[in-house]
């Protein structure tokens, strides 16, 4: 979508927020290619009035104000929050651009134009309007919010349904929070990475505790002041605690000394509440989800009858397969044990992958997720997102960390030949050595050429001195020959005129009356013709004599040049110099030929010509310089790659065919934020409460619930069940949201087109 241009005036002023420097440091640890604060300032200044800056207005969540996200140089995004007086913006966040950002720009973005973008030290230095009202107006005009088709109405029943879920989630959080003291700190004084037991050396670390008795294995902790550095105590031996973090952590991020805060696991409740709010605000990827869950109304559709599974399915499995591929909102598949539900799920995944439709595989337990993923074929890019300690054996290779390491190895292997080629241009490389040798050979060739020119000049000078008399005689004869040649030409022209006059007089001699006159004239002309002919013949004899004399002088000149000792010596010296020049040119050509094979680019064939060799030397210098810059860039890039940062995670997620995560894991991993899933398949849905189930469902356009409500129901918290019974004794719907799964609540009322029972 082409964005609307918004003119922000002569200047947009920015100020770093108080937390931004720390945020930037953490982001650059994960994404080293992000610029520092000075680099950001230069990039913004470079935008200037000639360049339009793409931007989106992002809605604030949880009561927060809206903010502006601008995309700088196609490399990273900045989050800008307008100041109170609307004279500028606070720079509050940064992240590298991923493909999802480009997709969002295409879907809808503004194009901002300003005289300049400038960073100031203080908001008091801001001098112009921020243009925020103009941005809000342009965005409200529909640039960033294309209308959805068949947008369902948010009805009172929907609000009541979500209110009940909110009550349950909030009360569950209060119950969990009351189970422990979140502020109890346990200090440590040293940290070391643990390699012996790692799946990834960046996930497991050991800490020397000061008071080891206050923690026990299995305790959830985070580093005080770093709430995102959280994990579990795996074991404690001799006051040394081994901690496995929830996600890979760069060792440099962990303070050398600090303290652990023991915290209850409240994040699951936060993510459930977040999913509820996504539904309440109409931001769910599936706009028909509430209609199905609350109203029990489903969209009509026709199963994908032409779809064929990759592997055979029985009749009920095939029916479920075709419904899952075509359902526009929600489908339910009841799969008792032994009916091949996992096999059916895999066939759905394979069919979606063939159409480039991204699938989310989720369940309440890690085991159920991994059971679907483990046997998917290797031609699919399958990712497993979640804590490493929760992933079942056999699926470790599917984790983001393992996939990133695999991709790093692949990239390293594929760039190794390029690195070796560019390595030839290094200061100690073969190409560099040949270039230095060629430079020296060309210097010697230049010297040889200069010496050959000097000896040629000396030989010419000596020849001029030795042959001076002969050349003067030759010049005199040449002058005489030229003079007599001109005389002969004149006489020949005169003879021609006389011959024509005689012919005219002869024709008129027989005429009456005047014939006598012409006969006398003819007599005179004949006499003149005879004299002129004799004179011309004399000139010819003179020219022949001059020619004979000139040939004799020329022969003497050739003899002197060929035999005079001084001239022979000078000529031999010059020939030696020419031979030396040719030898050095041939040597330089051999070196240049070897160098040419190591250089990038298309260079002409090497010939032992000094001028062409000099041109090649200049081109080789430029090519080597470019190769060195590429070598430095490639070496730096591979070095950063070997540090195994999270830079590749976003691209892996982008290109993944299938992503697996537990219900809560789909929300706790920031790598799935903004990912557009076509289909969410939730296995063992009969054992998952509605609040848990919503977390993956709001992230996909469509969903298929697979389970068996006749088997094990959800395992509710007895404390929450007791609270509902005591505080809401007459609310049966609220009680069922605690004790029954969404699958059980939906299956009886779902139309036959939206459900299937797998048969034995």
Tell me the C-alpha distance between 440 and 174, whole Å: 81
Query: What number of other Cβ atoms are within 10 A of residue 192's Cβ?
Result: 12
Alpha-carbon distance of 131 to 626, in angstroms, equals 43
Please give the structure tokens belonging to residue 177. 């929070």
Quickly tell me which residue has 């610029």 as its tokens. 35
- Residues 453 and 561: beta-carbon distance below 8 Å: no
Q: Which residues pair with 757 in a beta bridge?
A: 334
What's the CA gap between 78 and 70, in Å, rounded? 5
Strand partners for 117: 12
Segments of the chain scoring below 70 in pLDDT? 1-3, 61-63, 99-100, 142-154, 179-184, 195-202, 643-646
Distances (CA, A) of 697 to 99, 279, 589, 664, 708: 23, 10, 70, 11, 18
The residue whose two tokens read 């006969």 is 519
8 Å CB contact between 660 and 362:
yes
C-alpha closest to that of 173 among 276, 247, 244, 261: 276
The CA-atom distances, in angstroms, between 206 and each of 193, 216, 289 are: 6, 14, 45
Distance between CA 291 and CA 148 in Å, rounded? 15
Dist. CA 717–CA 699, nearest whole Å: 26
Residues 6+ apart with CB under 8 A from 495: 529, 532, 533, 536
> Of 745, 757, 732, 755, nearest to 688 (Cα)?
745
| DSSP per-residue codes, 583-635 | HHHHHHHHHHHHHHHHSSS--PPP-S-HHHHHHHHHHHHHHHHHHHHHHHHHH
Cα–Cα distance between 656 and 650 in angstroms, integer? 10
**d(C-alpha 72, C-alpha 75), whole Å:** 6
Determine contact, residues 745/735, Cβ cutoff 8 Å: no
Region at 63 (left for phi over 0; alpha for psi -120 to 50; beta for the rest) = left
Instruction: Give the alpha-carbon dihedral of 740, 743, 749, 752, to 10 degrees.
Output: -160
Single out the residue of 297, 354, 303 nearest to residue 325, CA to CA.
Answer: 303
Q: How many CB atoms lie within 10 A of CB 501?
A: 16
pLDDT at 200: 45
Domains of the chain (ranges, CATH numbers): 5-143 (no CATH), 180-263 (2.40.30.20), 270-380+657-757 (3.40.50.300), 448-579 (1.10.287.620)
d(CA 334, CA 696): 19
* Distances in whole angstroms, Cα of residue 108 to Cα of each of 54, 95, 138, 738: 10, 19, 11, 40
Report the pLDDT value the prediction gives residue 182, as an integer from 0 to 100.
46
Residue 546: φ, ψ to 5°: -60, -40
Write down the mean pLDDT value for the chain.
Answer: 88
Question: Quick one: pLDDT at residue 149?
Answer: 43
Q: Over the range 352-375, which residues count as b (16 or more CB within 10 Å of their CB) and which as e?
A: bbeeebbbbbbbbbbebbbbbbbe
Which residues on neighbouring strands pair with residue 662, listed in sequence order? 363
* Token pair of 420 as six digits: 């070796």
Please state, in angstroms and rounded to a whole number, the distance separating the CA atoms of residues 371 and 350.
Answer: 15
Write out pLDDT tens, residues 355-365. Answer: 889 999 999 99
For residue 426, report the phi and psi dihedrals to the nearest 5 degrees.
-65, 160
Give the residue from 219, 19, 55 showing the smallest Cα distance to 130: 55
Q: What are phi and psi of 436, to 5 degrees?
A: -65, -40
CA distance 750 to 291: 12
Secondary element (H or E) of residue 192: strand 185-193
Measured in degrees and rounded to the nearest 5, phi and psi for residue 730 equal -100, 0
Q: What is the pLDDT of residues 551-567, one digit of tens each?
A: 999 999 999 999 999 99
Pairing of strands 382-384, 658-662: parallel
Q: Which two tokens stand for residue 83?
A: 């100041």
């Amino acid at each position: 979508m082409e964005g609307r241009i918004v003119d922000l005036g002569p200047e947009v002023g920015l100020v770093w927020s108080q937390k931004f420097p720390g945020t930037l440091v953490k982001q650059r640890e994960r994404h080293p290619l992000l610029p520092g604060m000075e680099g950001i300032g230069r990039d913004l200044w470079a935008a200037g009035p000639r360049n339009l800056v793409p931007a989106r207005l992002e809605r604030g969540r949880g009561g927060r104000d809206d903010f502006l996200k601008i995309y700088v140089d196609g490399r990273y995004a900045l989050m800008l929050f307008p100041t109170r007086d609307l004279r500028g913006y606070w720079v509050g966040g940064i992240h590298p651009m991923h493909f999802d950002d480009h997709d969002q720009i295409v879907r809808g973005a503004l194009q901002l134009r300003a005289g300049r973008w400038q960073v100031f030290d203080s908001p008091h230095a801001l001098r112009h309007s921020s243009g925020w009202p103009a941005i809000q107006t342009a965005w409200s005009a529909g640039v960033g919010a294309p209308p959805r088709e068949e947008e369902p109405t948010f009805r009172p029943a929907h609000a009541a349904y979500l209110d009940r879920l909110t009550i349950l989630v909030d009360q569950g959080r209060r119950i969990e929070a009351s189970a422990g003291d979140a502020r109890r700190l346990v200090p440590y004084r040293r940290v070391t990475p643990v390699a012996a037991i790692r799946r990834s050396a960046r996930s497991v670390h050991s800490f020397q505790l000061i008071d080891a008795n206050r923690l026990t294995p299995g305790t959830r902790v985070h580093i005080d002041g770093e709430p995102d550095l959280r994990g579990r105590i795996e074991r404690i031996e001799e006051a040394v605690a081994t901690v496995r973090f929830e996600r890979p952590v760069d060792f440099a991020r962990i303070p050398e000394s600090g303290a652990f805060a023991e915290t209850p696991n409240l994040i699951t409740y936060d993510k459930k509440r977040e999913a509820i709010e996504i539904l309440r605000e109409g931001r769910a990827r599936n706009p028909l989800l509430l209609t199905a869950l609350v109203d029990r109304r489903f969209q009509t559709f026709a199963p994908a009858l032409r779809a064929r599974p990759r592997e055979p399915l029985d009749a009920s499995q095939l029916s479920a397969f075709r419904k899952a591929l075509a359902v526009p909102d929600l489908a339910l598949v009841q799969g008792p044990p032994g009916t091949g539900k996992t096999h059916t799920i895999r066939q759905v995944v394979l069919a979606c992958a063939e159409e480039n439709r991204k699938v989310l595989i989720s369940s309440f337990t890690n085991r159920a997720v991994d059971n679907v993923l483990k046997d998917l074929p290797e031609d699919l890019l399958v990712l497993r997102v979640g804590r490493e300690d929760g992933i079942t054996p056999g699926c470790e290779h599917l984790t983001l960390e393992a996939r990133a390491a695999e991709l790093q190895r692949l990239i390293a292997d594929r760039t190794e030949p390029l690195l070796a080629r560019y390595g030839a241009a290094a200061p100690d490389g073969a190409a560099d050595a040949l270039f230095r040798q060629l430079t020296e050979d060309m210097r010697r060739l230049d010297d040889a050429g200069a010496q050959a020119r000097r000896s040629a000049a000396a030989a010419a000078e000596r020849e001029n001195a030795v042959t001076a008399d002969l050349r003067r005689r030759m010049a005199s004869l040449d002058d005489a020959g030229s003079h007599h040649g001109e005389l002969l030409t004149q006489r020949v022209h005169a003879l021609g005129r006389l011959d024509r006059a005689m012919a005219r007089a002869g024709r008129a001699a027989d005429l009456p009356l005047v014939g006598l006159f012409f006969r006398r004239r003819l007599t005179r002309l004949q006499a003149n013709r005879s004299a002129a002919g004799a004179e011309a013949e004399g000139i010819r004899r003179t020219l022949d004599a001059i020619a004979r004399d000139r040939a004799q002088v020329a022969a003497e000149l050739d003899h002197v040049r060929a035999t005079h000792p001084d001239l022979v010596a000078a000529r031999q010296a010059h020939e030696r110099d020419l031979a030396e020049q040719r030898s050095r040119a041939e040597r330089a050509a051999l070196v240049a030929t070897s160098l040419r094979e190591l250089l990038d680019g298309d260079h002409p064939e090497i010939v032992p010509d000094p001028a062409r060799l000099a041109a090649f030397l200049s081109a080789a210098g430029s090519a080597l310089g470019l190769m060195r810059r590429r070598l430095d860039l490639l070496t730096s890039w591979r070095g950063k790659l070997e540090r195994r940062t999270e830079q590749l995670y976003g691209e892996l997620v982008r290109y993944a065919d299938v992503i697996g995560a537990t219900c809560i894991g789909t929300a706790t991993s920031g790598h799935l934020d903004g990912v557009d899933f076509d289909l969410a398949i939730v296995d063992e849905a009969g054992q998952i409460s509605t609040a848990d189930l919503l977390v993956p469902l709001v992230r996909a356009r469509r969903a298929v619930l697979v389970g068996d409500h006749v088997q094990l129901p959800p395992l509710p918290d007895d404390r929450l069940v007791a609270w509902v019974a005591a505080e809401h004794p007459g609310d049966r719907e609220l009680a069922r949201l605690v004790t029954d799964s969404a699958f059980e609540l939906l299956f009886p009322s779902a139309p036959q087109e939206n459900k299937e029972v797998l048969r034995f």
